[in-house]
Structure 1
């Protein structure tokens, strides 16, 4: 089929975290392999790891145990894995291009700031006479709250770009059990958190105005099922594992959720999803995104906004 080319500009970017923003996938593998080695098992192959990525913990653990057949109770395995993860997740760091991408998208807040006359910066025609708009962002990760805090402990300022009410984590009670990725619920909820907090009079954002950033195959399917555009930025070994099936992945047609709601899936070469080896030099113009100049960061209103978000996050952390 001919790929669609008449997409509206992106107004919201929704991000996975593990393996997409932070280099945690190799840490996950390290921790699992240490346990497998302890019980005389072979290391975790990418054919199995690919099925675990992006899924909620209970589902991923069930798939893992079906393959590993460890001689211990699942509860004992979880206890050992949790201890290893708490130790090693502290070393997680942003993947290439992430810091600039999040910084650029965060800077689009400047378009919404008004001057003393009440005129939005985005309405002043700074860019070719065209009105510009903020790109709202939200986090949608299968990581639980406790794991999120460990993984991001050294990167609180980087993650402050995600306002606390626009973070949907793996233990969010608003997502029903069994409705994690590859089903669309987490991304639809992430969009709802944005729409529920838009400025008065701002038109609600539709799914096709959203761009999902994912590294996992189940995550791509979740984004496609949500009716959103998708950027797939996988681990090189995952890309190698599925070599030749990239088009099926981008269409969300790898059967990760079985036969559930087939009408939600995309079509091969429909233009809704694309592969990128990493997030460096992201082509904003391709998605109708305009990033304000770097000088916008010097605007006093931007500095106050950032400080308010950091204070709010630190307060939340110390009281929970």
Structure 2
């Protein structure tokens, strides 16, 4: 695989891509559902994962109503948050995440995190030593839901565009502006490479005219492999360990 323009900026989603939080979400949800005879399958999960924070309650309402649970949405959220908070200190990383980020950092490739989580949620996850170590490599180049306007979360491109600007990329983004980016700014967006695992995040990267590497779980790919909104994905891999960075004008990780 080759790419027309060498990549200059790398933007990472966080949950489920760099850190293993999706496993925590799944385990906690299954703990809650088990007494009611239900399991958190991939159809349910795909309809909830990667949603912007503003849709969090909507996602929980969907689950409670879809499974006709005998608890209120508020009760579900309180129980879920309690169990998640207990799990965060043991949170680990996804395979290849630390190696990839460390490699890019060592070669002075500008990197940023662009997550739909709020800063307070991220701080909780950083109670895990592995997550804290990883996030220290990004410094101040971390964009959360607190850094973008309400209603501008993924699949809108704002999170990635703000992250790119934080790295110094002129991508022509102004939330209050109605003008379209210039041709040069559109070309600059093509030098931004987005790593995502969730469908709304992939759509956000594509909506921002950036190159996107999708890193889905196989079950998620099976559900969305024919989705027209994902046709612009540049590459699909199942692990951050399965990358040939030289395809993007970047130095490969030495074996």
After TM superposition, the score normalised by the length of structure 2 is 0.83
Higher radius of gyration, 1 or 2: 1
Aligned length: 236
Q: Name the counterpart of 2:27.
A: 30
CA contact (8 A) 2:60 2:77 kept: no
Tell me how far apart the structure 1 counterparts of residues 205 and 50 of structure 2 sit (CA, whole Å): 12
Q: CA deviation at 1:7?
A: 1.9
Partner of 2:44 in structure 1?
48
What aligned pairs does 1:255-274 form with structure 2 within 5 A after superposition? 266=232, 273-274=234-235
Between the aligned partners of 1:146 and 1:140, the Cα distance in structure 2 is 15
Aligned mates of 2:214, 2:53 — CA distance in 1: 21
Partner of 1:237: 219
Contact 1:232–1:250 (Cα < 8 Å) also in 2: no
Q: 5+ residue gaps in structure 2?
A: 171-183
How far apart are the structure 1 equivalents of 2:143 and 2:247?
27
Secondary structure at the aligned position of 2:235 is classed as strand
Displacement of 1:150:
2.5
Pair 180,250 (structure 1): closer, same or farther in 2 beyond 3 Å: same
Question: What is the 5 A alignment of 1:1-320?
Answer: 7-38=4-35, 40=36, 42-69=38-65, 70-109=69-108, 135-153=109-127, 154-155=129-130, 156-164=132-140, 166-170=141-145, 172=146, 174-195=147-168, 206-242=188-224, 244-245=225-226, 248=228, 250-251=230-231, 266=232, 273-290=234-251
Show the counterpart of 1:310: none
Contact 2:246 2:252 in 1 (8 A): no
Asked if the contact 1:140–1:186 (Cα under 8 Å) also holds between the matched residues in 2, the reply is yes
Deviation at 1:189, TM superposition (A): 0.9
Work out the CA distance in 2 between the residues paired with 1:74 and 1:178: 22
- 1:232-266, CA deviations, whole angstroms, 9 ceiling, x for partnerless residues? 11123222333x427x3532xxxxxxxxxxxxxx4
How well do the aligned residues superpose, as a CA RMSD in angstroms?
Answer: 2.7
- The Cα offsets for residues 14-47 of structure 1, whole Å up to 9 and x where unpaired, read as 0011111111112101111222234x25222211
**Contact 1:108 / 1:291 at 8 angstroms: preserved in 2?**
no
- Shift, 1:194, TM fit: 1.1
Is the partner of 2:206 in helix, strand or coil?
helix
Report if aligned partners of 1:107, 1:291 keep a CA contact under 8 Å in 2.
no
Q: CA deviation digits over 1:60-91, x for unaligned, max 9?
A: 33133134224434333222111110111222
Which residue in the other structure is 1:258 paired with? none
Gaps of 5+ in 1: 110-134, 198-202, 252-265, 267-271, 295-320
Q: Secondary structure of the residue that 1:42 maps to in structure 2?
A: coil
Query: More displaced, 51-60 or 229-238?
Result: 51-60
